[in-house]
Structure 1
Amino acid sequence: MQKQKLPLVFVIILNYNGKNKLNACISSVLHSDYENLEVVIVDNGSSDSSFDDARRDFPKCHFIKSSKNFGFSRGNNLGLRWALEKFADFIFILNNDTLIETTTISTLVATMKKMPKAGIISPLIFKKNGKDVWFAGGKIDWIRMRTEHILENGFSTPRKTEYISGCAMLIRKDVFKKVGLFDERFFLYYEDADLSLRASRRGFELYIVPAARIVHLEQSSTENAAKTYWLVVSALLFFKIHANILQRTWHVFYLAARRTKNIYDLFFKKSRTAEEVRRAYRDFKTISF
């Protein structure tokens, strides 16, 4: 098929201090067998040389640099707005610590063309060893207020899922027209579940495509303490936005129990994790969303 007849795909790679991973990710994308492809690197205020190195090594890519770390949602939205202005048909959000196969994007696009109701789809995502599954679908646990990765991958055709991980998600442009971009109230975590849920509630279907595969190296740019803090804050925000009245009533009691355990852990186990969770609960009450 001629390049001009293929849907235009923009790959958006958000980077923050990715010196030891960004170039490998870009290189894997540029080795894709899909021809009508543009690559956009959005730098989230990195303090290392990763952005400049990539701009030097990959002059045909597009580069956007922010003045500071705006988080996952706002950072990716910089690239999304630019890509949509350039008439993208599909946008592939991709973590900078991933490696894709040559057929990953073409397989995903072919799936989208066959399944017009699909709004967001994901490849099967493996851990660094290439054997163990990191993401084969996602579940939203409305009782325990968390999202969970499905790890079972014994399926050969696209499978529906409740949410798609922001690690790698191919999104139809119509999704953004109907539900908007990533919600920038989410600095880190749960923005993918939020977009997925908004899309599914507007009639779009979400799928995992096992024939498309990537490897997630899991080289996080977020320290453990910050990760714990933002996981809790974003979870509180997500369930505040999306839970129904009965679920919210249950969450009052559930959170009270969680806080009681957290206080016990903080004072008797001297846990740094418990300290970050307690700080997240406290700050959530004062943050203006």
Structure 2
Amino acid sequence: MQPSAEELPAEDLAAEDVSARELPGVVLVVVTWNSADVLPGLLASLAFGMVGLRWRLVVADNDSADGTADLVRTEAPDALSVQTGRNAGYAAAINAALEAVGPLDKGTDAVLVCNPDIRMEPGCGAALVRGLERSGTGITAPVLFDGDGRMIRTLRREPNPLRLLGEMVLGAHRSGRFAALGEQVADPHAYSGPTRADWVAGSLMALSRECVEACGPWDESFFLYSEETEYALRARSRGFATRLAPDAVAVHLEGEAAVSPRLWTLLTVNRVRLYRRTHGAVAVAAFWSALVLREASRALLGRASSRAAVRALVSPARMRAKPGP
């Protein structure tokens, strides 16, 4: 049986205090919106998932109406609870959390950004932070599995028209075997090492303090989807690589973007909006056309979410409107 702190000699207490200070310091940001059903599972996983770190939990809530805020107060009373006051989106909630924390001091090595439907495996957080020690790395992501134990391919290449057409002809998994033809990195071997990617799915990410300071706030014009893509590409432009941390493992229960016409439309339209940021009119027209072709081909196979996406893509009013809830 371990002695209590009161029973330890003064020199042992001092040694424990020094040891604690030497652990990497982390701010863990969790963004919630009506997450009362899934948040307890995440909170339960943190005791082992964040072992080996000094960490502070910050929950940024987007005006939940299901008791999420009350749940945080009762199950995570030490957490800093931040209320955005509206359904502000993922990027805006992250910004609100970091603003509430204030400037990151030198004792904070990283910021972890997390969905509430993540379940961390033991040591996941520390492995993500260790991955940031690789030279030039600003963002790390774990190996993710879905609720049925299947690995989720989260590594991504920068989107372009040829990759969209490759996905349309070959499918996302087959096209992903070829760097020129697929956005999704499909090679299983890529998920066994510190593979560099243009961006990664943003359900769980670690950001180095230096990357956070260099990149500044997340882009709130993306209410949902493409915000992690924009952030990773911006980080790359500032010299920070995005890599897989293969020793970090987590489960993502995942949302309904692939089956919800509203969410899939938002995801699809945001892809065009992001591409428009850094490309000229001709390139944007090619990207838009390839995206329309891809979604139309899926719509012909009976996919309702793709039919909704095509309607939005060919609507000038929808393409001009700022996507939101």
Q: Tell me how far 1:33 sits from its aligned partner.
A: 1.3
One-letter amino acid of the structure 2 residue matched with residue 284 of structure 1: M
How many positions carry a matched residue from both structures?
282
In the alignment, which residue of structure 1 is the partner of 2:247? 211
Q: CA RMSD in A?
A: 2.9
In the alignment, which residue of structure 2 is the partner of 1:274? 307
Instruction: Give the whole-Å Cα distance in 2 for the aligned partners of 1:191 and 1:182.
Output: 7
Instruction: Give the whole-Å Cα distance in 1 for the aligned partners of 2:291 and 2:53.
Output: 50
- Map 1:23-172 to 2 at 5 A: 23-31=40-48, 32-85=50-103, 87=105, 88-113=108-133, 115-130=134-149, 132-143=150-161, 148-154=183-189, 155-172=191-208
Instruction: Give the whole-Å Cα distance in 2 for the aligned partners of 1:135 and 1:51.
Output: 32
User: Cα 1:261–1:204, aligned 2, differ >3 Å: closer, same or farther?
Assistant: closer
Q: Tell me how far 1:208 sits from its aligned partner.
A: 0.4
Pick from 10, 20, 38 the counterpart of residue 21 of structure 1: 38
User: Scaled by the length of structure 1, what TM-score is found?
Assistant: 0.86
In the alignment, which residue of structure 1 is the partner of 2:12? none
User: Cα 1:274–1:222, aligned 2, differ >3 Å: closer, same or farther?
Assistant: closer
Pick from 192, 199, 211 the counterpart of residue 175 of structure 1: 211
SS in 2 for 1:80: helix
Q: Are 1:134 and 1:151, in contact at CA under 8 Å, matched by a contact in 2?
A: no
Point out the more displaced range, 270-279 or 96-105: 270-279
Q: Tell me how far 1:10 sits from its aligned partner.
A: 0.7
Pick from 256, 261, 283 the counterpart of residue 318 of structure 2: 283
User: Scaled by the length of structure 2, what TM-score is found?
Assistant: 0.77
User: Cα 1:224–1:213, aligned 2, differ >3 Å: closer, same or farther?
Assistant: same
Q: Are 1:262 and 1:278, in contact at CA under 8 Å, matched by a contact in 2?
A: no
Consecutive unaligned residues of structure 1, counting only runs of 5 or more, are none
Q: Are 1:119 and 1:204, in contact at CA under 8 Å, matched by a contact in 2?
A: yes
Percent identity, aligned pairs only?
Answer: 21
One-letter amino acid of the structure 1 residue matched with residue 46 of structure 2: V
SS in 2 for 1:67: coil
Instruction: Give the whole-Å Cα distance in 2 for the aligned partners of 1:251 and 1:169.
Output: 29
Larger radius of gyration: 2
User: Cα 1:62–1:93, aligned 2, differ >3 Å: closer, same or farther?
Assistant: same
Q: Tell me how far 1:83 sits from its aligned partner.
A: 3.3
